[in-house]
Amino acid sequence: MTAPRTVRASATWAALALLSAAVLVPFAWMLVSSVKLDDEVFTVPVQWIPKQFHWENYVDIWTTIPMLTYLKNSLLLSVVITVLQVLTGSFAAYGFAKVSFPGRDLLFYSYLATIAVPWQAYMVPQYILMEKAGLVDTHLSLILLQAFGAFGVFLMRQYYLTIPDELLDAARLDGLTEYGIWARIVLPLSRPAMASLALVTFVNTWNDYMGPFIYLTDNDLWTVQIGLRSFVGAYDAQYALMMTGSVLSVLPVVVIFLFGQRYFVQGIATSGMK
Amino acid sequence: MKRHLITTIAVATGSVLLAACGGGSPGAGGDPKGPVTIKVSVWNYATTPEFKALIDGFKAAEPSITVKPVDILAEDYARKLTAMLAGGDTTDVLTMKNVIDYSRYATRNQLMPLTGEAKAVDKTAVPALSTYDLDGKYFALPYRQDFWVLYYNKTLLKKAGVDEKTLTNLTWPQYAELAGKLTSGTGASKVHGTFLQTWRSVVQAVSAAQTGGDQLGGNYGFFKDQYALALGLQRSGAALPFATAFTQKITYKSVFSSGKAATLPMGTWYASTLLADKASGKSTVDWGMAPMPQIAGSSKVTTFGSPTAFAVNKKAKNAAAAKRFVTWASGPEGAKAIAKVGVVPALNDPAVRDIYFGLDGIPNDPIAKKALTPDDVKLEMPISDTSSDVDQILTETHQLIMTGEKDLDAGLAEMSSRVRSEVGR
Amino acid sequence: MRRFPGPRRTTLAGWTFILPGFLGFAALTLVPVMATFGLAFLDWDSYSTPEWVGLANFERLAANPTFWTALGNTVFYAAGHVPLTLVASLGLAVLLNRRIRGVQYFRTALFFPYITSLVAVAIVWNLLFDPDLGPVNQLLRALGAGDPPGWTSSTTWAMPAIIIASVWRDMGYYMVLYLAGLQTIPPELYEAAEVDGAGAWQRFRHITVPSLRTMTFFILIMLTVSSFKVFDLVQVMTEGGPGRSTLVLSQLIFREGITEGRFGYSSAIAVVLFAVVLVLTMVQFGFSRRDER
């Protein structure tokens, strides 16, 4: 009934190769467009091989817009927010998953409930609050907004639920405090989940447009996403350079992904969990 | 770090209560003594030359006042401004990108009255001023006046053997015929006779202006001829199909400046872009301007358009200095400054017009002169409480008609019934 | 269940774990969200004095056909996006959780859609879906479809086009979460099952699926919630058009709130959206509880 293993494996491999190629088409388009002239970007049908390669786009982008400033701002925001989110998320999640005390579930549901409200709905009250605190037009406003997200708490809690209680009970018997258990046992065990959380937080912050758009007005504070969007305004459309910028903006995330992959797919020491 | 955080949170929490009470102090604006800095909200500063022209010009006139632009992405300008004002932002001068938003900010009491300043303006020289009249009060002064003309590509006309002079007095059927004649080529080298931007104003505002129909009225039979024309143009292949332009987000700029369309009905603002693109070598199009085509039997040139104005934020930090900027920019000096970069000022003055036509690259033949001195410029969309709701419905139905999802009569009927049943209840 | 330390000690420990994060969350998210709920009963445009109008905003909403259209479109989107993304991401994670040649490349490639800029995503998908010249319809015609769909220029096919693009974009993201979940399954379980002669499908059904239950629950909730909150992709692909055929609730909230400044009315829409998601989440919680038993 089943095909021989090797045949099936190579069929899977071929399917994956095809799928991943198909998935990369839009990125390929970005790459190709980034070395074209502006008017050559939108052509029907698509011109997959540019008539001429305009590599100078990759030089011009740094002087046409303050790309370096944008990248620095995005990097600062993404790193700080990711670190805080992973810390606050895993710390609080331990409380929710592994310590039982009165009032816990109520707090957890309040986290959960806010996930269901679209940001567009409370954008305005939040903005007024930040304005009154004098934090609008600062990076701190975005850091505060995103570092305490409910997502991280929820994700880490779900992961901690899979860690057997017996393991923690044994540690408690050994005299470890709850903080000690969190730091010495749970944190090392949850490396794959932390890596995923860090990755998705980083990517979300990096690609966030609405947050910086609402909160940052000063051009020196702008992130890559608003910097790029400001390119395609009603009065100008430098699409090729925009794609050059997009390619550059994606690169840091790719590096993070390749680097972080090791952590969430390499496997954890399962022996400790038995 | 942690301490700082807790303080911040405490402050933030406390302020929510304040915000809930609708607190906030009005801007104190004393007389500008000594150097002051005012902030002006603008869009796409780098690519909208008029703002730099105004700021530099004002700096020369009033050296003690420094003007700092607050740059906002054009597409998101209205939303960002709404959010800023809701939060109590203190940016001094606010550019009113369109008239409907102006009336909204003004009726919400977010703008400082400029009635005194407006009374000093010569109304015959600035016809757009009346647009900003809200029950006898004014909250903004116009500095720029856009209206629609028919752009054309001189090279393509010559190639098709069409005399430019025939564009001086076009009727819509003649325009459609011309577009057919100017269409050539296939595939990548296809040139369309005309290009219709996907905005509803291309069909609706022009039709309302020339037939006298009311866009807020809830009865849209008067759109019919103009729609039949637009649908006919795309059916015959003389214009790029709406569906393609809409889904591929193809804009008039890329089409006209690359010579893919021979004619283009568009606003006067596009001239300054064409001028700048030609100067920087981005475009080589040899272009002219003709009056908008008219409905048959009309002897006058009627078109539509919209002014742009400056207002002073009610919470401005430096209200007095801000008022001086607004008065200057909307006056003769400001008008000259923007005419120099190819923007049509709100102030209609022979000296200013001479500057405009004297610019290198602006067509100054009799056809262009006629195009730029229309007999009547109707407001693109009447101002009312219901304007934006009606605008939404008209836009949605416009898409349905132009993509062929609804046939013309059914579409117009839906427009009328939706506006009547959903707006103003 | 045994509890080793005394209850007082755990209570204290529990609060200290939760409070630092919770305070920040409460001040910056919970309070604004609660303010939204209050606003839903007010007539307020940020500048005027707020006026209590009771249920008037909700009555106006119920009578507004655009709201019902947007609600229907949002449900349609969720009904397509949630199951398709869940299945695709789980399948990919399982396929890529083993040692095959080029696994690193595949994982990266499949995650790529998520990190590619939305502007590029919208442009490329619209090109792919072009009714006349787009590769999608060229393929369909080659396969014998006489009259292929108009995709984003058609009121019927615009939403399916968005769903396809959204699954494409999100599956890599949830695949990453599933990959983390798969790491918690001890390989010994599979080895034992293989010794017992269980086939690949049986191992998947009896080991993988049950072991991923908490992760699946999490992903299902996140997917449901994010489907109902969908905004960016629709905004860049169709802006809700043609007509109102792809208008979703969060666009309506954004339009009424930020663009029109009707904060009370837009908050009322948000409350309805919240209620819908809450009911769905509770149903999912119920199922997950029942499963755990």
Sketch out chain B's domains with CATH numbers.
28-146+306-365 (3.40.190.10), 147-304+380-422 (3.40.190.10)
Mean of per-residue pLDDT scores for chain C: 84
Partnered with residue B250 across adjacent β-strands are none
Domain assignment present for C23: no
- Do B15 and A129 count as a contact with CB atoms less than 8 A apart? yes
Domain coverage including residue C207: 66-292
* C8-32 mean pLDDT: 82
CA–CA dist C1, A99 (Å, integer): 12
* B234-247 mean pLDDT: 90
Domain assignment present for C91: yes
pLDDT at B379: 92
Share of chain B above pLDDT 90, in %: 58
Using a CB-CB distance cutoff of 8 angstroms, which residues of chain C are in contact with residue A121?
33, 36, 250, 253, 257, 266-267, 269-270, 273-274
| ipTM for the whole complex | 0.79
Domain assignment present for C209: yes
* A95-119 mean pLDDT: 82
pLDDT digits (tens, 9 = 90+) for A43-86: 656 677 888 888 888 888 888 778 889 999 999 999 999 999 99
Partnered with residue B66 across adjacent β-strands are B37
pLDDT at B208: 95
Mutate one of A127, A158, A262 to test the C interface: name it (highest C CB count within 10 A).
A158
Amino acid sitting at position B87: G
pLDDT digits (tens, 9 = 90+) for A121-134: 787 788 878 878 88
Residue C8 has pLDDT above 60, yes or no: no
Nearest CA in chain C to A5: C200
pLDDT at A129: 84
Could you tell me the domains of chain A? 58-273 (1.10.3720.10)
Domain assignment present for C35: no
Q: Which helix (H) or strand (E) holds C272?
A: helix C263-292
Domain count of the fold of chain C: 1
- Do C257 and A209 count as a contact with CB atoms less than 8 A apart? no
Pairs across A and B, CB distance < 8 A: 90
* C121-147 mean pLDDT: 79
Domain assignment present for C164: yes
Domain assignment present for C1: no
Domain assignment present for C71: yes
pLDDT digits (tens, 9 = 90+) for B355-380: 998 888 888 899 999 999 899 999 99
Instruction: Select the residue of C63, C65, C155 nearest B405 (Cβ to Cβ).
Output: C155
| Tokens 């890529």, residue located | C96
**Pick from B108-122, C70-84, C175-189: least confident:** C175-189
Residue B178 has pLDDT above 90, yes or no: yes
Mean of per-residue pLDDT scores for chain B: 86
**Nearest 5°: CA angle at A116, between A115 and A120?**
90
Distance from CA of A11 to the nearest CA of B (A): 36
pLDDT digits (tens, 9 = 90+) for B71-92: 887 777 888 888 888 777 889 9
* A239-250 mean pLDDT: 80
pLDDT at B230: 96
- Do A124 and C176 count as a contact with CB atoms less than 8 A apart? no
Q: A160: burial class by Cβ within 10 Å (0-12, 13-18, 19+)?
A: buried
Nearest CA to A93 among C25, C224, C185, C183? C25
Distance from CA of C196 to the nearest CA of A (A): 17
CB contact residues (below 8 A), chain B span 305-334, against chain A = none
- Do C152 and B247 count as a contact with CB atoms less than 8 A apart? yes
CA–CA dist A171, A179 (Å, integer): 11
State whether the Cα torsion C164-C168-C174-C180 is positive or negative.
Answer: positive
Residue A204 has pLDDT above 60, yes or no: yes
- Do B248 and C35 count as a contact with CB atoms less than 8 A apart? no
Residue A271 has pLDDT above 50, yes or no: no
- Do B247 and C130 count as a contact with CB atoms less than 8 A apart? yes
Domain containing C220 — which CATH number? 1.10.3720.10
Instruction: Select the residue of A44, A111, A115 nearest C225 (Cβ to Cβ).
Output: A115
Q: Chains meeting B at 3+ CB pairs closer than 8 A?
A: A, C
